[in-house]
């Protein structure tokens, strides 16, 4: 088994997948688990890792490798040390310093060190799974819409606040608007599911955010696809990931929804690192 950890701004996602020497798969992750992102010590994280793995029926000795990607720099060394101490496994950490050695994607970014490593992992996985050109939509704490060209160049992308962030701010910056939770929504949405004319405050917030974000995403995707087609006439595929992706799959007509695209990118980068180590 391979264990991947994705340290995000809101959650830490753990994923387990079987070792597959063949082509990468869009849905290989047999088990995933999420913690809220919060500061803990190495011992607290280590014990939590052990407890979670054993609850899932996995012993550390069954792990062939561990990989980690993080957008929370303060937690990266803490999780790395926790894995070493409690799982007795060295950790492959996706880093900017070594990334070009394992990457297939060329980063055409003004300062690649400021590019979120989750976006690098997403680009690697999307290119390996679907080829280029590809437009990658990640609907997490923040929304990113990124472009990878037909020849594997990361051209950049757009960043916007995520839906949960917008919900929080709407509540925090107003006197009377409630903080809604959208857990009751169906697994996938279409415009017909959410009346645009809300007849209550709550319905108005739902309409504004869901129709508003659908419009925002549609506009960003169209512009990113146009930028990609300026480099190559091929029609880009649209690959979506992140917590909200499946809900908008029908509404926005994504070509693919890959729930754990970032984890797959970590696995691919780890595989190339391991192959390079074997040849060294």
For residue range 82-141, what is the model confidence (pLDDT) as tens digits?
999 999 998 999 998 877 788 999 999 999 999 999 999 999 999 999 999 999 999 999
Query: What is the mean pLDDT of the segment spanning 18-22?
Result: 67
Q: What is the pLDDT of residue 26?
A: 57
Contact 73, 37 (CB under 8 A): no
Is 106 inside a domain boundary?
no
Query: What is the mean pLDDT of the segment spanning 172-198?
Result: 90
Contact 67, 5 (CB under 8 A): yes
pLDDT tens track for 51-79: 999 998 899 999 999 999 999 999 999 99
Q: What is the pLDDT of residue 56?
A: 87
Same domain, 81 and 119: no
Same domain, 186 and 219: yes
Query: What is the mean pLDDT of the segment spanning 195-215?
Result: 95
Does 31 score more than 80 pLDDT?
no
Same domain, 80 and 143: no
Same domain, 74 and 174: no
The CATH number assigned to the domain holding 145 equals 3.30.420.40
Residue given tokens 């079987």 in the structure block: 18
Q: What is the pLDDT of residue 99?
A: 72
Catalytically active residues are 118
- Within the chain, residue ranges assigned H as helices are 42-55, 76-87, 99-102, 117-130, 163-172, 201-231, 249-252, 261-279
Contact 71, 8 (CB under 8 A): yes
What is the layout of strands, in order, in the sheet containing 153-161?
A: 106-107, 153-161, 142-148, 134-139, 237-241, 256-257
Residues forming beta bridges with residue 11, ordered by sequence position:
36
Is 98 inside a domain boundary?
no
Confidence of residue 25 (pLDDT cuts 50, 70, 90): low
Does 225 score more than 80 pLDDT?
yes
Average pLDDT, the chain: 92
Same domain, 211 and 257: yes
Q: What are phi and psi of 66, to 5 degrees?
A: -135, 130
Same domain, 164 and 251: yes
Q: How many domains does the chain have?
A: 2
Does 40 score more than 60 pLDDT?
yes
Does 12 score more than 80 pLDDT?
yes
Is 101 inside a domain boundary?
no
Q: What is the pLDDT of residue 21?
A: 53
Q: What is the pLDDT of residue 163?
A: 93
Same domain, 268 and 229: yes
Q: Which of 256, 215, 238, 219 is nearest to 136 (CA)?
A: 238
Q: What is the pLDDT of residue 184?
A: 81
pTM, entire model? 0.92
For the chain, percent of residues with pLDDT exceeding 70: 96
Is 47 inside a domain boundary?
yes
Is 258 inside a domain boundary?
yes
Is 108 inside a domain boundary?
no
Which residues constitute the domain of residue 180? 115-123+130-280
Does 192 score more than 80 pLDDT?
yes
Query: What is the mean pLDDT of the segment spanning 132-160?
Result: 97
Q: What is the pLDDT of residue 59?
A: 93
Q: What is the pLDDT of residue 100?
A: 76
pLDDT tens track for 238-265: 999 998 999 999 999 999 999 999 999 9
Q: Give the integer Cα–Cα distance in Å for 271 and 80.
A: 18
The count of other CB atoms within 10 Å of the CB of residue 168 is: 13
């Amino acid at each position: 088994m391979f264990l991947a950890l994705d340290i995000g701004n809101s959650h830490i996602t753990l994923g387990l997948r079987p070792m597959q020497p063949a082509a990468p798969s869009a849905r290989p992750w047999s088990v995933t688990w999420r913690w809220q992102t919060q500061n803990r010590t190495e011992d607290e994280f280590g014990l939590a890792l052990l407890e979670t793995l054993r609850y899932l029926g996995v012993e550390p000795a069954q792990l062939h490798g561990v990989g980690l990607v993080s957008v929370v720099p303060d937690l990266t060394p803490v999780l790395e040390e926790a894995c070493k101490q409690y799982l007795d496994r060295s950790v492959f950490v996706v880093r900017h310093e070594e990334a070009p050695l394992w990457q297939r994607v060329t980063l055409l970014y003004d300062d690649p060190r400021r590019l979120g490593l989750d976006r690098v992992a997403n680009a690697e996985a999307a290119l390996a799974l679907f080829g280029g050109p590809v437009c990658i939509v990640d609907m997490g704490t923040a929304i990113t819409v990124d472009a990878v060209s037909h020849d594997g160049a990361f051209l950049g992308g757009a960043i916007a606040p995520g839906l949960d962030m917008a919900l929080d701010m709407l509540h925090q910056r107003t006197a009377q608007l409630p903080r809604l939770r959208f857990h009751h929504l169906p697994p996938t949405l279409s415009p017909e599911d959410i009346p645009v004319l809300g007849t209550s405050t709550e319905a108005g917030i739902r309409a504004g955010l869901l129709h508003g974000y659908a419009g925002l995403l549609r506009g960003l995707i169209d512009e990113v696809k146009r930028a990609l087609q300026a480099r190559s006439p091929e029609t880009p595929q649209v690959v979506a990931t992140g917590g909200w992706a499946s809900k908008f799959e029908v509404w926005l007509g994504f070509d693919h929804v890959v729930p754990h695209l970032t984890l797959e990118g970590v696995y691919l980068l780890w595989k190339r690192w391991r192959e390079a180590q074997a040849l060294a």
